[in-house]
């Protein structure tokens, strides 16, 4: 497989529709239409955990957002995210976007994904996922006028209920929230998934 050339079909400020000519496995020339973001950089999604002590019980909650998405014409449940500005690092973007969208502070980064692809059949758009711990109070005073984002701190039981509801979820968010519930349940119920395993 080999890329021969890119033909711009339509260019706009943010997105460009491209016809990519390539040679298939038989050496024959084919065309694939794709969308490209004009800024040549990745996006960042932040998966923030918020620990609070409530009545002396420490509680682990995940920060979830509900954001109006024009392409869906509806609200989508997901995580804080944004595009990396020119010259910015993925980690700086994570700090900035979490503050802007939720008012929370990213105190500690616990894991960073490689740059991975959202939907590689349609676009080369890539995203880096930054896991971390945060603190502070939820606020929308740092949001841009065009943003319509509500932020929630959710314990595993609340996420479990949310997932049962008739909502629109981001694909990555659905997977992350499902894992959050699963790990919590394995941990809290004090058993391991493989029931044939013997505990020490």
7 vs 24, 39, 127, 183, CA distance in Å?
17, 18, 25, 47
Between residues 25 and 105, which has the closer beta carbon with respect to a second copy?
A: 25
Which of 49-57, 95-103, 154-162, 173-181 is the region at the interface with a second copy (rule: CB under 8 A)?
Answer: 173-181
Residue 171 binding a second copy, by CB under 8 A = yes
Please tell me the distance from the alpha carbon of residue 20 to that of residue 29, in angstroms, as a whole number.
Answer: 10
Binding residues for a second copy restricted to 179-198, rule: CB under 8 A: 179, 182-183, 186-188, 190-194, 197-198
Closest distance to a second copy from the beta carbon of 119 (Å): 4
Burial class (CB in 10 A: 0-12, 13-18, 19+), 58: exposed
Q: Applying CB under 8 A, which of residues 39, 104, 169, 181 lies at the interface with a second copy?
A: 169
User: For residue 37, which of 153, 103, 110, 117 has the smallest C-alpha distance?
Assistant: 117
Nearer to a second copy, 24 or 108 (CB): 24
Binding to a second copy by residue 142, rule CB under 8 A? no
Query: Is 10 a binder of a second copy (CB under 8 A)?
Result: yes
Location of structure tokens 């929630």? 152
Nearer to a second copy, 105 or 123 (CB): 123
Among the listed residues 184, 132, 122, the one whose alpha carbon sits nearest the alpha carbon of residue 157: 184
Task: Write out the binding residues for a second copy, residues 108-127 only, by CB under 8 A.
Answer: 113-114, 116-125, 127
Q: Minimum distance from CB of 104 to a second copy (Å)?
A: 21
Query: Looking at 17, 41, 49, 162, which residue binds a second copy (CB under 8 A)?
Result: 17
Residue 146: CB minimum distance to a second copy, A:
6
Q: CB-hemisphere CA count at 13 Å for 8?
A: 8
DSSP 44: E
Q: How many Å apart are CA 40 and CA 125, to the nearest integer?
A: 9
């Amino acid at each position: 497989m080999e890329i021969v050339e890119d033909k711009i079909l339509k260019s706009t400020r943010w997105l460009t529709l491209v016809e990519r000519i390539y040679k298939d496995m038989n050496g024959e020339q084919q065309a694939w239409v794709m969308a490209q973001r004009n800024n040549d950089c990745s996006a960042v999604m932040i998966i923030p955990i918020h620990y609070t002590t409530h009545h002396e019980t420490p509680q682990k909650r995940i920060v979830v957002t509900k954001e109006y998405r024009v392409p869906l014409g509806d609200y989508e449940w997901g995580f804080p995210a944004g595009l990396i500005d020119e010259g910015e690092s993925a980690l700086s973007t994570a700090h900035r976007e979490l503050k802007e969208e939720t008012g929370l502070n990213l105190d500690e980064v616990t894991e960073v994904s490689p740059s991975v692809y959202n939907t590689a059949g349609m676009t080369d758009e890539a995203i880096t996922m930054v896991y971390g711990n945060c603190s502070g109070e939820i606020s929308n005073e740092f949001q841009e006028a065009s943003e319509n984002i509500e932020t929630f701190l959710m314990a595993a039981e609340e996420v479990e209920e949310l997932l049962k509801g008739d909502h629109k979820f981001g694909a990555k968010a659905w997977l992350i929230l499902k894992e959050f519930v699963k790990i919590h349940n394995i941990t809290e119920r004090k058993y391991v998934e493989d029931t044939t395993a013997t505990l020490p």
